[in-house]
Structures are given as structure tokens and as C-alpha cells.
Amino acid sequence: MKLTVKERMVLPALYPQKGNLLEQSIVKEITEKTTISEKEATDIKLQRTPRGYQWDLKKEKEIDVELSKVEADFLKEQVSRLDKEKAITQELLDVCLKIKEYEVKKKEQK
């Protein structure tokens, strides 16, 4: 799934604040795959402002995040939960749609 900087920054809003050990482990794995590195933050000139975060959109590159079936199912459950709660905002819409449409790539077997 290709994710922009903004989508990776809003992704934690989908996570439950509390959960069982498995859920929190999944959150940790997804976070490790989607975190903005120091190098990337420097490259895109990411900075915190009083109104949020800003970065150079011209230097931004989407990253391709490969999720396991467990991770993808977890995110899809979170999107469904927010949808039922009518809690999806415009800020979350794009990433929610990407998650809903995401299909786990099957590894080629030799």
C-alpha cells in the first residue's frame, strides 16, 4: 500500500487507545513500518508549527508499505469500527479508503 507522509502521520488515529497484547503488538509492527525516519524528515524539511506539521510536498515520496494479513485485517477492523461510530473525518478519509481496498500480496512460491 503506497502511503504519503500525511497518511502515515494520521494512521495512529485509527489505533485503539487500549487493547490486548496482540492488538498492541500489531500496532507496534505497523508503526515500525510507517514511521518517518530522521533522514526522511530532513529530506522533506518536516517541521512542527503552531498549526501542526509542514513539509516540502515537492520532496515527499510515497512509501510502499507491505502489510501482513494480520496487520491488514487489524487496520480494516479499525476502519470498520470508526465507520460504525461515524468517526471518519476528511483527514482520515484517504487512508481509510486505501486500507479498505488493500489486498495482501501473496508471496511467490518456488
The string of DSSP codes covering 29-92 is HHHHHHPPPHHHHHHTT-EEETTEEE--TTT---EEPPPPHHHHHHHHHHHHHHHHTT---HHH
Containing structural domain, residue 20: 2-101
Residue 102 contacts residue 72 (beta carbons within 8 Å): yes
Q: Please write the tens of the pLDDT for every residue from 47-97.
A: 999 998 999 999 999 999 999 999 999 999 999 999 999 999 999 999 999
The pTM for the full model equals 0.87
Query: Has residue 82 been placed in a domain?
Result: yes
107, part of any domain = no
42, part of any domain:
yes
CA distance 24 to 12: 12
For residue 108, being part of any structural domain is answered with no
The answer as to whether 61 is a domain residue is yes
**Is residue 106 domain-resident?**
no
Residue 109 belongs to some domain of the structure:
no
Question: Total structural domains in the chain?
Answer: 1
